[in-house]
Structure 1
């Protein structure tokens, strides 16, 4: 068996396991300025909330910026009035840290703070959050944590009750201060990392958002001897932090900066490979500036080497244009120069910086030239050979063209390379018509316009050639001269009718009603409808009306029934369906109960008659 395939596979495996990606950017100057503004507003806030002062001062510190003296004085005065040793432990921690960051002159009640903090670290009722901040307070004040074994036992007990990711983050911070007594937490580090949520395969975060992610990440990175994060995981956390650079709250800014600072100081510090400045170069200035830095845009220490353009391809046709080209150092420590002496176009370049890599896209700009240009008129039926005049850019045609409705305007030109936008414009006053130049081959273009079909009126039109593209440095409009057009059957200089303003109102056309029958027919059917009632009256007159079984209980029923009939008449004349139903409910209910009462009475009176028989 040949060893070449095995060797190739081994080299591929080694490359895949030792090469890493890079992060998508860094904390840019705009973001830094925005973070400073948010921190300034936090320090200026008219509030007694100590946390705002801490977040503002901490952000200034993490950005290595000095707090203005007026802000420092006002913040220290606010702290001196609001800080009390009886505050909750997180506020005590914020107050102590803010006082040290700002360099305040007032004296903290250190004895009371130490007494409360030591007691919290020995109490079985202390929450893991209180233990975390109490331990940090002691360390900030230069004190040792007494009985670290007892503190470690308290943390383990609390984690048995609630081992959420946030509590594990608190535990990481405390155990990092307990030295050997806190070694038990290293067994939980892998579990913590596994609980991170991956987003689109590019980012990692813990449930709870930016503050929770920052709390856990800064705690993990306090254990440099353990393999807490891989480089790929560190890059994904960095991408998440960069995606949250739009945060607007002082707490969010402070949390983001703390996590980013911890990452950049770790052994898995993310590497940012990006374009410094413009992604476009020109043929006379082909130097593309590449920045290789940490997440804050600062030089890496130690620097990663070598920095090489591993490959470059033209996006239009995927042709390889460069390979393994070293980058020269730039004027800044984190800056490198890649000369792109290539034809104008868009390019995709793979940059390697040590074991890190990133793909960037760059654009090379260049001029375009008109190599050959011809213009003239031809017969629309093709009966004669067109007469074309050659014109050299940027000159005009020797004399105005004379055309009519039976001719075509013919333009042929050749450019130094293909462009996306090539137009021929004819204009006269406020009237214009634009023709798209069709691409032929070998960077040749052609426009053929039927004057009789395309131009609405007779007039003198200015001819312009318009050339543009996203990768040319000299887009232009070339005024070629004029053409006088005479359109048969149309008045010269007649302005086209332009209709502007509101359109005519659209009126709904209802269907015409059907033709009504004759009046005699209507009267006949009316009489026919009333005939049964007339027959009833006649029969009553001859036979008579039998009121023998009439009872007063029938009166309410007949009144209700008559009301229903009257309601139907009103519905036909005036009422709508909803109003009719509203009136029918009480009237119908009354009629129902009256009828039920009447029928019950009639049933009771018939029973004795049957029993007598």
Structure 2
């Protein structure tokens, strides 16, 4: 590593801090962070709406579950949007389905006559369709109207039940219609939700044998569920089709809605393993804060169904903090709540065992945690456990104290959580020195206090060695091996060398043999600043400590020795102050005397004086100047044009360049040709008349 430019040691400590703050992804109940995320993801558009009907329903439904007031302020616009689609004769079953549900969430108060028309439309769709989606939208719309207090009965419920059941497959999945070749897990969820709606809308009891068959289909469907090693379960599509594939979140949400809706309307229990219901809850909570509005809706609504279902209500064990300090004597706190953080029934939580990083049992304590009724938190002092600093896995055992709740709530039995225990690490017997030979004869040794500012001044040549050693011990007196221990030597030319300080069971020690490092040091003699970095996620006093400097005398570099690498240019240096520019103008050229210049100017005026004298000698007069108004005007313009040309010559002499002068002269030339031709034509005609007379 020597000779290369490494990441600064300060950056290494920042990385340790990041690791300290993010030990593992925690499964936590729905919190205020989800509410803030939902309010941001479902922000209204510029016109105050949420987009189409489906997006509007997802927004208001999510806000309703989370107890947010956002949707109430927009209820007027959303209700009008829904009412317009309910009254429109061109609305599809899907539009009516979402419009009715929006009205139900916001309690818009739709006129009974409007709902009568919607009921008739949806029943007609059910009668004529063989599409699972059309069944789903139509039955769901009718059920939502019934839940709002209107009398809705599906007279042919059993035949509709059979029509939907005919689309089921042997593995618990469903087809979208009779023409579909592939079955779908997402379709199974909406099929179960539609069947639950039919049972609720039926005017008589649906055939119990058919209900029993659907229960078996649900068991088969849960046989296809997928899982992670941490006990998280989720559903996904068997075949990936770009037109039908929905993804694990959407697919799992569909199944959860369908299964819980069906379980709510039929008698008896569904034979679903409790750990799979708990695993689905962990899956949706493990998402954290979703990145899209659709995922947020699926997460929140699915968790709402899981918390209020008749199969099993999952209870989530979570730790408010996963970092515990021996210095401040933190208590280990455990929360066991529903997915929305509601108070759980009376529970018994035991600490079973503590596992080290190699899964070795550090301590096994069948100790019951104390319960704080006001904060709904179980807690335990970790000091009596004699746990040292480091990373551990703690196994908890949860059980309900009332036996009658065992078939309602699911706790997962034993739960494993990862924690980090931190503390102040002691630094002892730190020494630095220069030795002369392999035997280790030390020329100079200095003690170091690595927890304070220490400045040493050392000098060495290429035949000597630098030795640094120190010990690290935990609060319980055990040897501590941090994740990162580096010694950095930085030359005055900014060339850096980073060395890993190896550690043994007794101490950390590094020996730098300068004779073997001369090439890696590029034969650069001079001052080297010494810096030691020690850091670990469990070490509360990680440090980046300057140790002082070393004056190193190395031999001259041979001809083919490697050159130091070019140092990186600071990208912000271009914004700094620039060097001052000093400029001296050339000395002016020598000019002729003033008198000579005036004499030359006088000479340039002599031709003009000669011109005026010539006019007088020739006897210039205005006798032939036209007397009529028209010719007189052209003659005047002609003479004015000649004067303008003379003026242009003067301007050319004073300020104009050649190209500008020629441009103006071109315009004046055309003007003079025109007016001059008219003037000369008039004079020629007058002269001809006089000669004729």
Tell me if 1:421 matches 2:484: yes
Q: 1:364 to 1:74 in 2, by over 3 A?
A: same
**1:344 Cα offset (Å):** 0.6
Q: Aligned to 2:495, which of 431, 453, 462? A: 431
Q: Aligned to 1:112, which of 113, 116, 122? A: 116
Q: Aligned to 1:448, which of 501, 511, 519? A: 511
Partner residue of 1:237?
A: 280
Q: Aligned to 1:374, which of 423, 431, 445? A: 431
Q: Aligned to 1:182, which of 195, 198, 206? A: 206
Q: Aligned to 2:318, which of 271, 274, 277? A: 274
| SS at 1:351 equivalent | strand
Partner residue of 1:212?
A: 254
Partner residue of 2:57?
A: 54
Higher relative contact order (CA 8 A, sep 6+): 2
Q: Aligned to 1:335, which of 348, 370, 377? A: 377
Cα deviation, 1:295-343, whole Å, max 9, x if unaligned, reads 223332x24x102222112225724234223333358644333433321
Cα deviation, 1:504-560, whole Å, max 9, x if unaligned, reads xxxxxxxxxxxxxxxxxxxxxxxxxxxxxxxxxxxxxxxxxxxxxxxxxxxxxxxxx
| SS at 1:424 equivalent | strand
Partner residue of 2:219?
A: 193
Q: TM (normalized to structure 2)?
A: 0.60
Q: 1:43 to 1:432 in 2, by over 3 A?
A: closer
**1:284 Cα offset (Å):** 1.5
Q: How many residues align?
A: 473
**What is the alpha-carbon distance in structure 2 between the residues aligned to residue 260 and residue 383 of structure 1?**
68
**What is the alpha-carbon distance in structure 1 between the residues aligned to residue 468 and residue 120 of structure 2?**
91
Q: 1:376 to 1:39 in 2, by over 3 A?
A: closer
Contact 1:175 1:183 in 2 (8 A): no
Partner residue of 2:536?
A: 469
**1:346 Cα offset (Å):** 0.4
**1:60 Cα offset (Å):** 1.5
Q: Aligned to 2:341, which of 293, 297, 321? A: 297
Partner residue of 1:610?
A: none
**1:348 Cα offset (Å):** 0.5
Q: How does 1:347-358 map to 2 (within 5 A)?
A: 347-354=392-399, 356-358=413-415
Q: 1:190 to 1:32 in 2, by over 3 A?
A: farther
Contact 2:72 2:106 in 1 (8 A): no
**What is the alpha-carbon distance in structure 2 between the residues aligned to residue 497 and residue 317 of structure 1?**
49
Partner residue of 1:94?
A: 98
Partner residue of 2:328?
A: 284
**Where in structure 1 are there 5+ consecutive unaligned residues?**
1-22, 502-613
**1:136 Cα offset (Å):** 0.4
Contact 1:122 1:151 in 2 (8 A): no
Partner residue of 2:466?
A: 409
Tell me if 1:481 matches 2:552: no
Cα deviation, 1:319-375, whole Å, max 9, x if unaligned, reads 423422333335864433343332110000112221533111000111122211222
**What is the alpha-carbon distance in structure 1 between the residues aligned to residue 397 and residue 444 of structure 2?**
58
**What is the alpha-carbon distance in structure 2 between the residues aligned to residue 411 and residue 142 of structure 1?**
82
| SS at 2:547 equivalent | strand
My pick for the range that moved more, 125-134 or 78-87, is 125-134
Partner residue of 1:391?
A: 448
**1:407 Cα offset (Å):** 1.6
Partner residue of 1:260?
A: 303
Q: TM (normalized to structure 1)?
A: 0.67
Contact 2:83 2:99 in 1 (8 A): no
**1:110 Cα offset (Å):** 4.2
**1:231 Cα offset (Å):** 1.0
**1:155 Cα offset (Å):** 2.1
Aligned-residue RMSD, C-alpha: 3.8
**Where in structure 2 are there 5+ consecutive unaligned residues?**
1-25, 175-187, 238-245, 400-410, 474-479, 568-693
Q: 1:129 to 1:263 in 2, by over 3 A?
A: same
**What is the alpha-carbon distance in structure 2 between the residues aligned to residue 200 and residue 399 of structure 1?**
58
Q: Aligned to 2:149, which of 133, 142, 147? A: 142
Partner residue of 1:71?
A: 74
Q: 1:211 to 1:387 in 2, by over 3 A?
A: closer
**What is the alpha-carbon distance in structure 1 between the residues aligned to residue 459 and residue 543 of structure 2?**
26
